[in-house]
């Protein structure tokens, strides 16, 4: 009998055997989406929450195991105080409203970034949401909050020095273990909305071999169909990891 994932893949023209394990998204364009409607930027962020919901649902329907969302960058602290406050409140309100349902669906909430820099009520809600969902295994929803890749790398270097590592003991594996994504496989696909073609200090180490999907769709308009389109685009790429493909289009053995 065909599974629900197989049926959905057939309907969407997707190969169920090549669904990426980890998808990362730079959710961009909330401000422009709001401006087009003569509304405040916060209005755009509020509608951005719906798009978050759609992407989590689409990812779960396809069996994506990890979904990382760039929700607030280190650089976002420089935005007007009112916008930062509104984003933090939105995060808390969303967590309070959605966490039970997400948890019941098997979502495990995790965070990466300088979470200690967030307001106390945000930290408390996040901690509670992480605790109540920690045993879930359907999908890990990883929120990058007060996150930047350069910050993360500096933290890793500090930890290595403090732990007394010698130069020749520092390997790729060791660095990987000291990043906030420790234990999480690297994303195979990174999506950025709103027509920008930048990586903006997001997972610089972890995206080394990821495929990038750029779309002009503004984040609040990014629905399930947009997510499926991104996966189709991913499946049309030849991933060689710097090697060559054999006649079956697999990476040839060295
Ligand atoms: C970028 O759009 C978006 C953000 C900085 C915030 C993203 C936040 C959300 C989608 C809502 C809350 C998220 C969760 C997980 C509940 P922008 O403001 O830079 O847009 P612009 O480039 O058009 O100005």
Q: What is the pLDDT of residues 133-150, one digit of tens each?
A: 999 999 999 999 999 999
Closest-CA residue to 66 (of 14, 127, 107): 107
Domains of the chain: 23-148+181-235 (3.40.1180.10)
* Active site residue ranges: 28, 76
Mean pLDDT of 173-187: 98
SS3 85: helix
Q: What is the pLDDT of residues 71-130, one digit of tens each?
A: 999 999 999 999 999 999 999 999 999 999 999 999 999 999 999 999 999 999 999 999
State percent of the chain over pLDDT 90. Answer: 93
Q: What is the pTM assigned to this prediction?
A: 0.94
More confident residue, 178 or 254: 178
> Looking at the predicted structure, is the pLDDT value of residue 247 above 70?
no
Span 175-182, mean pLDDT?
98
- The residue whose CA has the least distance to atom 16 of ligand 1 is 91
Q: Both tokens of residue 119?
A: 């307001």
Buried b (16+ CB within 10 A) or exposed e, 153-162: eeebeeebee
Tell me how far the alpha carbon of residue 219 lies from the centroid of ligand 1, in angstroms: 8
Position 245 pLDDT exceeds 80: no
Burial per residue of 17-48, b for 16 or more beta-carbon CB atoms within 10 angstroms, e otherwise = eebbebbbbbbbbbbbbbeeeeeebbbbbbbb
Q: Which residues line ligand 1 (CB under 6 A)?
A: 27-32, 41, 45, 48-49, 52, 69, 71, 76, 87, 90-91, 94, 143, 194, 219
Q: Distance between CA atoms of 120 and 153, rounded to whole angstroms?
A: 25
- CB 11 within 8 Å of CB 54: no
CA of 41 to the centre of ligand 1 (A): 9
Pure H helices in 169-223 = 172-177
Q: Compute the Cα dihedral for 117, 121, 122, 127 and give only its sign.
A: positive
Sheet arrangement for strand 211-214 = 107-112, 139-147, 66-73, 22-26, 189-192, 211-214
Q: pLDDT-derived band of residue 248, with 50, 70 and 90 as boundaries?
A: low
Q: What is the structure's pLDDT at 238?
A: 80
């Amino acid at each position: 009998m065909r599974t629900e994932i197989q049926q959905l893949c057939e309907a969407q023209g997707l190969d169920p055997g090549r669904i990426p394990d980890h998808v990362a998204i730079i959710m961009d364009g909330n401000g422009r989406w709001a401006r087009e409607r003569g509304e405040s930027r916060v209005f755009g962020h509020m509608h951005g929450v719906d798009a978050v919901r759609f992407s989590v649902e689409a990812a779960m329907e396809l069996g994506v195991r990890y979904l990382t969302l760039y929700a607030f960058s280190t650089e976002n602290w420089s935005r007007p105080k009112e916008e930062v406050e509104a984003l933090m409140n939105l995060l808390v309100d969303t967590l309070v409203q959605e966490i039970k349902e997400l948890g019941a669906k098997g979502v495990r909430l995790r965070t990466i970034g300088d979470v200690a820099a967030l307001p106390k009520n945000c930290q408390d809600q996040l901690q509670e949401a992480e605790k109540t969902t920690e045993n879930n295994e359907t999908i890990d929803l990883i929120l990058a909050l007060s996150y930047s890749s350069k910050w993360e790398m500096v933290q890793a270097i500090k930890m290595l020095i403090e732990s007394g590592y010698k130069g020749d003991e520092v390997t790729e594996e060791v660095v990987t273990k000291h990043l906030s994504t420790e234990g999480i496989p690297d994303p195979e696909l990174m999506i950025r909305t709103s027509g920008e073609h930048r990586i903006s200090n997001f997972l610089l180490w972890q995206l080394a071999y990821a495929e990038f999907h750029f779309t002009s769709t503004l984040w609040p308009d990014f629905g399930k169909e947009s997510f499926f389109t991104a996966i189709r685009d991913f499946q049309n790429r030849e991933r060689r990891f710097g090697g060559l493909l054999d006649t079956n289009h697999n990476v040839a053995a060295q």
